[in-house]
């Protein structure tokens, strides 16, 4: 069973990405043949600065590895190292109605922002479908915000298959619904666009400062407090053990606990979880040659699968076989 997912290199990953997406995806490494990639073609719809693109791409790659992606098992690669996906996107765009894309939430909200939209933003779901379908993916672990895109990929696969035969595997979104929405500093969903994020790799001092800045109500130290309506506690629950959660909840409900204490407790459990991975992250960022070797190996594995799927799709549509002679390979038998 293949699991596939991608992260756009548009910013340094934050705690919401970590808990909502990266960690659940990493847990699938043992039960699935996992393909995880850095979606730089997608980032190009908004990142128009080569230096930032390169930096974010390396940061996201190092993040996966620092958090436990095992490159011997899981293929980690950069989307644009497999240009076959662009061709598959074209094939899919020829069986995709304008109406389907016009209904995409992400496009509608970008349109609502009143910015001038590029065509890439409109056809984003087609490229995303190509990512998924290029690797015969069965399951796609994503946050709730991407569920619609995965369903659109499934629709595109079905519409292609109904015209041309069984070429693409129909994928399913794998949404983790046991994790509540991860609150940011101000209590709204943690999101880069709200500016309320806690970066995963903030150093210990910066992390503590962020945690101390979490918005709470104005109850004093001797007021009893409701853990379930507190952002600090909501984050604590995501990092602490069940016993620690229970113990802190009890302290909330009695006098004597100030929010400063709760924040310190949160900082400590976060640092406990993130301290060692942060060291690995720093080491990986300082060793671009090793990082590159992992990405090259991942790309070679991914590309082999995508080339086979593309070949199948070209054949089904009546296009000629992939002209591999031109890229130095042997021409596949047709």
Residues binding ligand TRP (CB under 6 A)? 4-6, 8, 39, 42, 128, 131-132, 140, 142, 146, 149
Give the tokens for residue 65.
Answer: 């590895």
Nearer to ligand TRP, 149 or 237 (CB): 149
Length of the chain: 334
Residue 151 near residue 185 (C-beta atoms within 8 A): no
How near is the Cβ of 65 to ligand TRP at its closest, in Å?
Answer: 18
Neighbours of 189 (CB within 10 A): 17
How near is the Cβ of 306 to ligand TRP at its closest, in Å?
Answer: 13
Residue 87 near residue 80 (C-beta atoms within 8 A): no
How near is the Cβ of 138 to ligand TRP at its closest, in Å?
Answer: 12
How near is the Cβ of 91 to ligand TRP at its closest, in Å?
Answer: 17
Nearer to ligand TRP, 102 or 287 (CB): 102
Adjacent-strand bridge partners of 141: 174
How near is the Cβ of 132 to ligand TRP at its closest, in Å?
Answer: 5
Alpha-carbon distance 64 to 25, whole Å? Answer: 10
Distances (CA, A) of 132 to 41, 102, 203, 251: 14, 20, 35, 47
How near is the Cβ of 39 to ligand TRP at its closest, in Å?
Answer: 4
Nearer to ligand TRP, 8 or 32 (CB): 8
When CB distances to ligand TRP are compared, the closest residue is 6
What DSSP character marks residue 329? Answer: S
Residues 6+ apart with CB under 8 A from 321: 311, 314, 315, 331, 332, 334
Residue 230 near residue 252 (C-beta atoms within 8 A): yes
How near is the Cβ of 106 to ligand TRP at its closest, in Å?
Answer: 8
How near is the Cβ of 134 to ligand TRP at its closest, in Å?
Answer: 10
Give the tokens for residue 169.
Answer: 């595997």
Nearer to ligand TRP, 46 or 304 (CB): 46
The three-class DSSP label of residue 3 is strand
Nearer to ligand TRP, 132 or 232 (CB): 132
How near is the Cβ of 100 to ligand TRP at its closest, in Å?
Answer: 16
Nearer to ligand TRP, 7 or 266 (CB): 7
Nearer to ligand TRP, 42 or 278 (CB): 42
**How would you write 206-270 as a 3-class SS string?**
HHHHHHHCCCCCCCCCCCCCCHHHCHHHHHHHHHCCHHHHHHHHHHHCCCCCCHHHHHHHHHHHH
Alpha-carbon distance 225 to 96, whole Å? Answer: 53
Strands 172-175 and 33-38 turn out to be unpaired
Nearer to ligand TRP, 139 or 322 (CB): 139
Nearer to ligand TRP, 39 or 44 (CB): 39
Give the tokens for residue 286.
Answer: 């300082």
């Amino acid at each position: 069973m293949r699991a596939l997912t991608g992260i756009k290199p548009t910013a340094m990953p934050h705690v919401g990405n970590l808990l909502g997406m990266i960690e659940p995806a990493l847990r699938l490494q043992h039960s699935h043949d996992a393909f995880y990639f850095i979606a730089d073609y997608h980032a190009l719809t908004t990142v128009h600065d080569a230096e930032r693109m390169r930096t974010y791409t390396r940061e996201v790659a190092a993040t996966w590895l620092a958090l436990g992606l095992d490159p011997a098992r899981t293929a980690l690669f950069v989307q644009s190292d497999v240009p076959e996906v662009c061709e598959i996107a074209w094939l899919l765009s020829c069986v995709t109605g304008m109406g389907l894309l016009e209904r995409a939430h992400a496009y509608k909200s970008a349109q609502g922002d009143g910015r001038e939209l590029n065509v890439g933003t409109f056809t984003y779901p087609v490229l995303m479908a190509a990512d998924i379908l290029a690797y015969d993916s069965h399951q796609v672990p994503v946050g709730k915000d991407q569920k619609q895109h995965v369903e659109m990929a499934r629709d595109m696969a079905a519409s292609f298959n109904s015209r041309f035969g069984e070429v693409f595997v129909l994928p399913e979104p794998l949404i983790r619904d046991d994790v509540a929405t991860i609150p940011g500093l101000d209590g709204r969903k943690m999101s880069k666009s709200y500016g309320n994020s806690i970066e995963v790799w903030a150093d210990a001092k910066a992390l503590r400062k962020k945690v101390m800045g979490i918005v709470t109500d104005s109850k004093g130290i001797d007021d009893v407090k409701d853990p379930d309506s507190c952002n600090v506690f909501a984050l604590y629950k995501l990092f602490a053990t069940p016993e620690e959660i229970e113990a802190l909840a009890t302290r909330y409900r009695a006098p004597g606990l100030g929010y400063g204490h709760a924040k310190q407790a949160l900082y400590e459990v976060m640092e406990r979880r993130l301290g060692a991975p942060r060291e690995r992250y720093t080491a990986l960022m300082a060793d671009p040659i090793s990082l590159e070797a992992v990405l090259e190996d991942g790309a070679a594995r991914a590309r082999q699968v995508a080339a086979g799927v593309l070949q199948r799709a070209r054949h089904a549509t009546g296009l000629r076989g992939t002209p591999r002679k031109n890229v130095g390979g042997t021409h596949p038998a047709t």
